[in-house]
Structures are given as structure tokens and as C-alpha cells.
Amino acid sequence: MSENDENKTNDLIKIKIGHLIKFAHNFQGIEVHVLVSGKFIKMNYGNEQFVDILKKLQEKKLEEVYINQVDCKRIMAEIQQVISSKSATDQNKMQSSENSLEIMKAFVTQMGVTKEAIDILNTINKNTLGVLQHSQNLMDWIKRFKTQCSDEFLKSILTSYLCCRIIDQFPWSSTSIKEKSCLASVLCDINLSKEDFAALKDYEENGTQISDKLKQHPLEIIKILSARKDIVSSETIVIIEQHHERPDGSGFPYGIQGPRFNQLSTIFIVSQQFINQLVKCNFDYQQRKTILETVYEVYRGKNFDKAISALVTVVNN
């Protein structure tokens, strides 16, 4: 190992070792640093294998390492190549998509959004929705992947899927508008940790309090995205801004009410809420009528009527 002469925090990106290992064959040999007593130490592989060193660090209870920003572009190109493979099995597509999303979370939150990142997120959506659409039915897809993917990842895909089906109920439906909504689904919680997801789940299901910082997470993402309005649409940004708002004003971050809801946001919100409830009842689709009633109870109101009516049509078909 060699110690850095100066603090390179600005040039280094923190990344979970587990994520590097999952794509190890693509990252082989990149410069890796560990943070020891406030100083960055560059790893020296010597004769050891890249993965073996990373695993040894994990055994020492180290969860994260640091990589150079300049390597992130190459890594994104590698990821895009892996997830664009036409020969990948459904299982491989799902696994590489979830791993890629985890890596993109680290890159986007620390480096901002780039065209390469958006391309990867769009490919992830295309792949996962493709696997879902090729499955015999929704329940078959859930059965295949619910033990292999995290609930957060499945929620994101299912929200995208439901959103697209609801949008198709409207005469203005288009591929472009569906892509913008799906992009909101993978970006809306990109800055949240596993602990944040657990706290939000408790808030949604049991009404427990969440921190003010967590309530600000839509605005933090918007700040990142607004710097690149040339590659992220205003529709995607508004959906993310409003995805935790409620028609009675009890949502966050602004507690908006009534006409300030965008139509696409209402579709996204009711989709997300339906899926949250579906996950809560362990994906038991037989309970869909009860779930619809629960969603209607919270989200009824003039601005949500069209979205809820379309949701009912989609779920009952």
C-alpha cells in the first residue's frame, strides 16, 4: 500500500466493495484506495488477485473503498456493454441490472448525472421491463425474482410497469412519456440507504415519524438533476419532486395540495402506493381490491381521480 501525499477526497468516489466484486471481471486492475485513520491509502495488488484483495478487506469488516473519478467513465462504458448483451438470460439481466443500479447510485450522488448514467438507467428499465413483459404473467415474474432481488429494486420495476400501463389508458400516451416516468422510478430514491428505505417503509405502513433530512430527499435529487436539464426532462424532475406528496397536504417535502399536482405525478404516486401495498402483503395479488380501497382512501380527490380510475381499470383487467 502507498499513502497519498494529499487529501484526494474530491477526486475519489466511494463505492461498496460488494458492488465492485459483482462486476470484478470488468473492473480488474483499477486503482483502489482505502481510508485508514483519515488518510487515503492506494492498494498495491502485488501478486494477489483483485477480487482476493477486496474479499480480504471485507473480512476485515471494511465495506467501502474509493476509486478515481476518471475510472468511473470507463466503468460506466463496461456496465453499458454488460447490460446491453442480447444473449443474457432473464436471471442475468435482472442481476446485472440491480448491481448496475447500485453502482449508478454511488456515481450519480457523488459525481452528478451524466449522459452515460442516464443511458444506463434507461437500459436497466428496458431490460427489467422486457423480462417482466416476457414472463407468463405478473405473478410468475414476482415468484421468479422476489427471493433474488431486493424489495426496493422490485418496487421500482413494478412501479414503472404499472405507470406505463396506466399511461396507456390515456389518449396522450407515448413511448417518450413512459420512458420519462420510468426514469423517475429509478432516480427518485437514488440517494437513499437501506436504513432510509426501512424508515420510509415504516412511515408508509405505520405512520411513524421520519427525519427532516429524509423528507428532503426528493429535493436533493432534483438539485443534482436540475444541473443537467439538457439530459433529464422537466416531467421526470416534477415526478421526483412530488413523489411523496399527498392530496390532503400531509406529504413531503412541500406538503402541496390540490391543483399543484402534475397529472403524471398523480399516476406515478398511485402506482407507487399500489406497489408499496402489494409488497406489504407479500405480493399477494388476490388482495388487489383491498389495496385499491386503501390507495383510494388516501389519494381520492379531484386531482387524483383520473389516475385512480385508470389504476382500477388496469388492476381489474
Compute, in degrees rounded to 10, the torsion defined by CA atoms 114, 115, 119, 122: 70
Alpha helices in the chain (DSSP H): 17-22, 24-27, 50-59, 69-83, 90-111, 115-134, 138-145, 151-167, 175-187, 194-206, 212-215, 217-226, 234-242, 263-280, 288-299, 305-316
Residue 63 CB partners (closer than 8 Å, separation 6+):
16, 17, 18
The site map against Fe ion for 139-168 (x = CB under 5 A) is: ------------------------------
Query: Does 241 interact with Fe ion (rule: CB under 5 A)?
Result: no
Nearer to Fe ion (CB atom), residue 33 or residue 244? 244
Number of residues this chain uses to bind Fe ion (CB under 5 A): 1
Query: Closest separation between CB of residue 218 and Fe ion, Å?
Result: 6
Nearer to Fe ion (CB atom), residue 33 or residue 215? 215
**260 vs 133: CA distance, rounded Å:** 33
Strand-strand pairing, 12-16 and 64-68: antiparallel
Query: Closest separation between CB of residue 22 and Fe ion, Å?
Result: 24
Nearer to Fe ion (CB atom), residue 170 or residue 254? 254
Nearer to Fe ion (CB atom), residue 98 or residue 189? 189
Nearer to Fe ion (CB atom), residue 179 or residue 189? 189
Angle at 205 between CA 195 and CA 293, to 5 degrees: 145
The stretch among 184-192, 252-260, 284-292, 305-313 that binds Fe ion (CB under 5 A) is: 184-192
Query: Closest separation between CB of residue 237 and Fe ion, Å?
Result: 14
Query: Closest separation between CB of residue 75 and Fe ion, Å?
Result: 26
Query: Closest separation between CB of residue 217 and Fe ion, Å?
Result: 6
Query: Closest separation between CB of residue 298 and Fe ion, Å?
Result: 16
Residues in region 26-85 near Fe ion by CB under 5 A = none
Q: Count CA atoms within 13 Å of residue 240 on its CB side.
A: 28
**292 vs 30: CA distance, rounded Å:** 49
The stretch among 9-17, 105-113, 119-127, 188-196 that binds Fe ion (CB under 5 A) is: 188-196
Query: Does 189 interact with Fe ion (rule: CB under 5 A)?
Result: yes
**List of residues contacting Fe ion (CB under 5 A):** 189
